[in-house]
C-alpha cells in the first residue's frame, strides 16, 4: 500500500535520478590537444602512433629475420630433413623471396593505411634493427646449435652483412613511394 511517507521518500530519489541524467558532464568533450577519443585507436594520439610504429617495425624485422635464418641454418635444415644441399638452398631461396615479396606488399599496404602522408613512417628504417637483434637472440635461445657441423660458414656472414646494410634503404624506398 502506498502511503504519504513512501511517496515522500521515493519522489526525491526519482527526481535526483532524472535530474542527474540530464546534466551534462562538463569534461566529457574536454580534449586539450584536439586528439580523438583514445579508446577508438583512431586519430593522431602520440602513444597510438608510437605503438603502431613499433608494431610495423617489428613486422619489418620479421620479414628480414626469416630469410636470414634460412641462410644461416641451411646445414641444420639439410641434416634434419636429409635433403641434398642443393634442394635446401633452392627451397630456402624460394621461401626467402616469397616472404620478402609478401611482406613488402603487406607492409606497404599497412603503412599506407596507418600513416598516409606522415613522416613518422621513415622511423621504421631505424627501429626495425633492435627488434631484429631481439628476435635473433630469441631464436638462438630457443634453437641452440648442438652440432658443430650446423654452424654457418664465414661466407654467410658476409652475405648477411650486405643484407643488413641494404635493408634500411629498402625500407626507405618502400616508404618513399608510399603516398
Question: In total, how many domains does the chain have?
Answer: 1
Q: Is residue 145 part of a domain?
A: yes
Q: Is residue 30 part of a domain?
A: no
**What per-residue confidence (pLDDT) applies to 49?**
85
Q: Is residue 11 part of a domain?
A: no
Cα distances (angstroms) measured from residue 55 to each of 77, 92, 122, 178: 30, 26, 14, 18
Average pLDDT per 10 consecutive residues for the chain, totaling 179 residues: 56 52 55 52 70 94 96 92 94 96 95 85 93 96 89 90 96 88
Residue 164 burial (CB count, 10 A): 13
Q: Is residue 35 part of a domain?
A: no
Q: Is residue 96 part of a domain?
A: yes
Q: Is residue 15 part of a domain?
A: no
Q: Is residue 163 part of a domain?
A: yes
pTM, two decimal places = 0.73
DSSP 11-74: HHHHHHHHHHHHSPPTTTT--TT----GGGT-S--HHHHHHHHHHHHHHHHHHHHHHHHHHHTH
Q: By residue range, what is the domain housing residue 90?
A: 45-176
**What per-residue confidence (pLDDT) applies to 10?**
56
Q: Is residue 164 part of a domain?
A: yes
Amino acid at each position: 500500500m502506498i502511503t504519504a511517507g513512501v511517496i515522500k521518500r521515493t519522489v526525491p530519489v526519482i527526481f535526483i535520478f532524472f535530474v542527474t541524467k540530464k546534466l551534462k558532464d562538463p569534461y566529457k568533450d574536454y580534449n586539450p590537444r584536439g586528439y580523438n577519443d583514445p579508446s577508438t585507436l583512431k586519430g593522431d594520439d602520440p602513444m597510438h602512433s608510437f605503438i603502431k610504429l613499433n608494431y610495423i617495425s617489428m613486422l619489418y624485422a620479421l620479414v628480414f629475420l626469416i630469410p636470414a635464418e634460412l641462410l644461416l641454418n641451411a646445414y641444420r635444415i639439410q641434416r634434419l630433413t636429409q635433403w641434398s644441399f642443393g634442394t635446401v638452398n633452392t627451397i630456402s631461396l624460394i621461401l626467402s623471396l616469397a616472404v620478402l615479396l609478401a611482406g613488402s606488399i603487406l607492409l606497404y599496404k599497412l603503412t599506407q593505411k596507418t600513416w598516409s602522408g606522415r613522416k613518422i613512417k621513415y622511423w621504421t628504417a631505424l627501429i626495425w634493427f633492435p627488434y631484429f637483434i631481439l628476435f635473433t637472440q630469441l631464436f638462438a635461445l630457443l634453437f641452440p646449435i648442438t652440432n658443430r657441423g650446423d654452424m654457418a660458414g664465414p661466407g654467410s656472414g658476409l652475405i648477411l652483412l650486405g643484407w643488413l646494410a641494404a635493408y634500411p634503404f629498402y625500407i626507405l624506398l618502400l616508404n618513399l613511394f608510399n603516398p
